[in-house]
Chains A and B, each alone.
Chain A
């Protein structure tokens, strides 16, 4: 075994780029472990503990790129380092050919391009506050993608923003659509009269995509970050966003998406909404319609309902859904159950979108199916990090445990694919649930990444003498770079059942599991 390390002076890359390169290097033949990181103290510790750097590593600082490779042979190690160089030079030449406009600091960007009015910030958490504060100081609206920002900093940033009348979306806000432009992880949707504000990133993606599917359109889709409606933050940004949508002449319908707000925040919000003369639809996932008692706000059970109600309102129809007809779903479940063995009674869901995982959990619960999860509704059902799935399990693979040192599962599918194979080996599993999220910022071909794995897990099941039902939904539009219909086709060809939206995928899964369990009893 050999360890090689190199230091590239004054060469800076963002951590996503380096993580993608590192994980590809780790998969190379003969490579035992590999990492490329910026030379921060934290990374120094990580790489030292991993044995990737040692006393003879050249000195380095925070602006230097450090490469460490452990391999069976020194050729393998050198090949991995060579791979990194090719990877990086590819990145660089791509940047050059696009003649991407560059600046070295936010103030520099603003002075070079004075029309700049918006900042998207995704620096490591500990620097995020400073960058966001700078952006606000420059009069820019902010989408703060970074997480690991303290709640105190969040409150202070939002205070500054409110004072200046600027949007401060985040921290930990992944999705927004401004003037029809998708920012962060967001989709290309038709423009229209529905204005949305959400404390749930993939929730906002799912609803905007569904609105587009249903023929509706979006004026603005704003994010607040997941903690905005907690008591500490007090719904500061939600309140400003609602005010903006109320005054926006192009917004005729308002949609709110969130987990249930803190009680006092809810009260303030309802008070603010009293004077809004546009229809308001709210999906407070995990809440109860009684929360809206006495207000004109229309309750939506889930993301699908929120989208449907919003489109009805946009088209000037009564904001009421027809009674739910489950016949088609039951019929489909019948066909699928016919392939399964009686002992297959469990489901597993692997999600890249946190809100999609959460929505599924709620829908299953309503159907009487409690699930283990890393983001469980009830702490008693929390699946400890690193443990294998048990019974019915839903995992949000965008959570810290999975993303620590790895890119987000919407960008890098390796962890999800590995986990799919684990789940498929369990002979009690009947259904594997997957999301497939497209749009800008996400992987250029998520279905293409999932399809071979779907084929593989289905073959594994067949070899073991059973079938495995894979149910997926695609959060993407025809206008997205990935193209919805193409993604669906790829998944279907791989053998997945593709449902029109996440809620329906969850309902179908519930239907199958209930039948399998009844059958077991009979």
Chain B
């Protein structure tokens, strides 16, 4: 009988973790012995079976999961995204034709789409010149000619409705450390925009301008300057009060400062230069889409590590919330999406809001956005958090569900602690703490646009399903 570890215990300083009644923890501390109180809650909403799955996973031999998660975390740390130019969707995306429409979130059918998503789809079909009117577009959809697919499956992300079609220009971001590529559309600005489901002529005209004027100019700027390092901008912006999901004013300003010297050198037409610089400097959220592509390029490197339980994607299509976890590759785990809670623009209220939507939760998947709310006192009022302390509490609570903290993105307001990074599906189920996401809110009717911003949680069901499927893949459940 092997009692070596007991002899070790007898010979060393006792150090206790107390799970349950806190009197026992106080008692140990009163004896001047180190003790940590585990704020235990019934795991996964009180589901005993899930609790036992978690326990079984903890007991896998050789620390397989922990090793795999460390590997996943190390890849996230090593990620080095660079913006290397502009491309058109049809040039780079696999299995693409004019009738293919990429959307945010997990897969869904036309019938399942919410109002803004449907509005965006109708607009996108007109933008591609496949239909003159919404009626014609609808006919195409009902004939089954239009093929919908999640952006996430083809290395892409898009905010809110996330439309990506044949002619659309995309930021190309290369993760230099691994050589993989990710793409995201250009941010359209505020007001009537396709990402919030608007689709009138002005929306289409702006998209055409992005395609025909802005994108070529940006591409030439990159050609002149060389790749732009995005992590540097993100790290600086975080220290300047952006959380980089709902607030990107610092990042967008830094970006403008970095790109404008090249832009002015590559645009000869003064009128165009004026339009381009007006557009870039007039949109506080311009950097969001670059941040999203950067996050996607990093999270994709964590995909398909055997035994790795880190989350590689979180995204919403306005109907369902979906996540992917590393070990299970491209399998989506979905649950009905929740309603954000937050503040509304004047004239709008909760009854106007569409449920949570967009691929932009890739920022939280990487560990910024809602996860770094503590770095962003200024966003607190915008998303309706109660106080700066509450924002820090949100960030603090995210360390409970992540593998570690990001050594490159640090939070000045929290003693330069690294941003919480690498969501572990086991920890989410175990602690009952779900990822917090900062988000914009679309009007539930297509075409109205943004009505507010707020905070939303990823639904627990996605994580419990993923955990169960993972355990099944190991024949443990």
Interfacial residues, chain A to chain B (CB-CB below 8 A): 12, 14, 16-17, 38, 40-41, 61-63, 95, 98, 100-110, 112-113, 115-124, 126-127, 129-141, 145-146, 160, 162, 164-167, 178-179, 181-184, 188, 220, 239-240, 243-244, 247-248, 250, 411, 440-441, 481
Q: Which residue of A lies closest to B7 (CB)?
A: A247
A127 near B23 (CB under 8 angstroms)?
Answer: no
Q: Quick one: which of B19, B25, B35 contacts A123, CB cutoff 8 A?
A: B19
A63 near B432 (CB under 8 angstroms)?
Answer: yes
Given contacts A104-B39, A248-B10, 15 further A-B contacts (CB under 8 A): A100-B22, A103-B17, A104-B400, A107-B58, A117-B9, A119-B16, A119-B19, A122-B21, A133-B56, A164-B5, A165-B5, A167-B6, A179-B10, A179-B13, A441-B24
Q: Quick one: which of B3, B26, B31 contacts A244, CB cutoff 8 A?
A: B3
A101-B18 Cα distance, complex, nearest whole Å: 10
A100 near B37 (CB under 8 angstroms)?
Answer: yes
Is residue B232 within 8 Å, beta carbon to beta carbon, of the partner chain?
A: no
Is residue B154 within 8 Å, beta carbon to beta carbon, of the partner chain?
A: no
Contact partners of A188 in chain B: CB under 8 A: 31
Is residue B191 within 8 Å, beta carbon to beta carbon, of the partner chain?
A: no
A166-B4 Cα distance, complex, nearest whole Å: 9
Q: Quick one: which of A17, A63, A165 contacts B41, CB cutoff 8 A?
A: A63
A121-B25 Cα distance, complex, nearest whole Å: 10
A107 near B42 (CB under 8 angstroms)?
Answer: no
In the complex with contacts A103-B17, A165-B6, A113-B54 CB distance below 8 A:
no
B58 near A134 (CB under 8 angstroms)?
Answer: yes
B5 near A122 (CB under 8 angstroms)?
Answer: no
What are 7 A-B interface contacts by the 8 Å CB criterion?
A: A14-B20, A61-B45, A98-B26, A103-B17, A165-B1, A181-B33, A188-B31
Interfacial residues, chain B to chain A (CB-CB below 8 A): 1-10, 12-31, 33-43, 45-46, 48, 51-52, 54-56, 58-59, 400, 426-427, 430-433
A179-B32 Cα distance, complex, nearest whole Å: 12
Q: Quick one: which of A136, A183, A184, A244 contacts B59, CB cutoff 8 A?
A: A136
Contact partners of B2 in chain A: CB under 8 A: 165
Q: Quick one: which of A16, A63, A102, A178 contacts B21, CB cutoff 8 A?
A: A16
B9 near A112 (CB under 8 angstroms)?
Answer: no
A165 near B4 (CB under 8 angstroms)?
Answer: yes
B10 near A220 (CB under 8 angstroms)?
Answer: yes
Q: Quick one: which of B22, B28, B45, B59 contacts A62, CB cutoff 8 A?
A: B45
B59 near A178 (CB under 8 angstroms)?
Answer: no
Contact partners of B22 in chain A: CB under 8 A: 14, 17, 95, 100
In the complex with contacts A118-B14, A184-B24, A141-B38 CB distance below 8 A:
no
Contact partners of A124 in chain B: CB under 8 A: 42
B3 near A165 (CB under 8 angstroms)?
Answer: yes
Contact partners of B5 in chain A: CB under 8 A: 139, 141, 164-166
Q: Which residue of A lies closest to B21 (CB)?
A: A122
Contact partners of B9 in chain A: CB under 8 A: 117-118, 141, 167, 178-179
A61-B460 Cα distance, complex, nearest whole Å: 13
- Ranked nearest first, the 3 interchain pairs of A and B with the lowest CB-CB distance are A122-B20, A137-B58, A133-B55
B17 near A98 (CB under 8 angstroms)?
Answer: no
Q: Which residue of B lies closest to A481 (CB)?
A: B30
Contact partners of A112 in chain B: CB under 8 A: 36
Q: Which residue of B lies closest to A239 (CB)?
A: B1
A119-B9 Cα distance, complex, nearest whole Å: 12
A115-B15 Cα distance, complex, nearest whole Å: 6
B15 near A117 (CB under 8 angstroms)?
Answer: yes
A118 near B21 (CB under 8 angstroms)?
Answer: no
A106-B430 Cα distance, complex, nearest whole Å: 9
A105 near B55 (CB under 8 angstroms)?
Answer: no
In the complex with contacts A162-B1, A164-B5, A40-B42 CB distance below 8 A:
yes
A248 near B7 (CB under 8 angstroms)?
Answer: yes
Whole-angstrom distance between the Cβ of B412 and the nearest chain A Cβ = 23
B3 near A130 (CB under 8 angstroms)?
Answer: no
B21 near A40 (CB under 8 angstroms)?
Answer: no
Contact partners of B45 in chain A: CB under 8 A: 61-63
Contact partners of B7 in chain A: CB under 8 A: 244, 247-248
A14-B16 Cα distance, complex, nearest whole Å: 18
Q: Quick one: which of B25, B26, B30, B42 contacts A127, CB cutoff 8 A?
A: B42
Contact partners of B34 in chain A: CB under 8 A: 101, 113, 115
Whole-angstrom distance between the Cβ of B35 and the nearest chain A Cβ = 7
Q: Which residue of A lies closest to B17 (CB)?
A: A109
A106 near B29 (CB under 8 angstroms)?
Answer: no
A181 near B15 (CB under 8 angstroms)?
Answer: no
In the complex with contacts A101-B36, A117-B15, A250-B10 CB distance below 8 A:
yes
A120 near B55 (CB under 8 angstroms)?
Answer: no
A118 near B430 (CB under 8 angstroms)?
Answer: no
Q: Which residue of A lies closest to B403 (CB)?
A: A111
A116 near B20 (CB under 8 angstroms)?
Answer: no
Contact partners of B26 in chain A: CB under 8 A: 98, 100
Q: Quick one: which of A62, A109, A127, A145 contacts B36, CB cutoff 8 A?
A: A109
A122 near B24 (CB under 8 angstroms)?
Answer: yes
B3 near A240 (CB under 8 angstroms)?
Answer: yes
Contact partners of A119 in chain B: CB under 8 A: 16-19
Whole-angstrom distance between the Cβ of B476 and the nearest chain A Cβ = 12
Q: Quick one: which of B14, B17, B48, B400 contacts A106, CB cutoff 8 A?
A: B17
A105 near B38 (CB under 8 angstroms)?
Answer: yes
A102 near B31 (CB under 8 angstroms)?
Answer: no
A179 near B19 (CB under 8 angstroms)?
Answer: no
Q: Which residue of B lies closest to A184 (CB)?
A: B24
Whole-angstrom distance between the Cβ of A482 and the nearest chain B Cβ = 12
B31 near A127 (CB under 8 angstroms)?
Answer: no
B55 near A181 (CB under 8 angstroms)?
Answer: no
B13 near A115 (CB under 8 angstroms)?
Answer: yes
B36 near A160 (CB under 8 angstroms)?
Answer: no
B39 near A440 (CB under 8 angstroms)?
Answer: no
Whole-angstrom distance between the Cβ of B21 and the nearest chain A Cβ = 4
Q: Which residue of B lies closest to A62 (CB)?
A: B46
A127 near B38 (CB under 8 angstroms)?
Answer: no
Whole-angstrom distance between the Cβ of A24 and the nearest chain B Cβ = 16
A145-B38 Cα distance, complex, nearest whole Å: 15
Contact partners of B10 in chain A: CB under 8 A: 178-179, 220, 244, 248, 250
Q: Which residue of A lies closest to B5 (CB)?
A: A165
A119-B37 Cα distance, complex, nearest whole Å: 10
Q: Which residue of A lies closest to B431 (CB)?
A: A104
A182 near B18 (CB under 8 angstroms)?
Answer: no
A162-B4 Cα distance, complex, nearest whole Å: 11
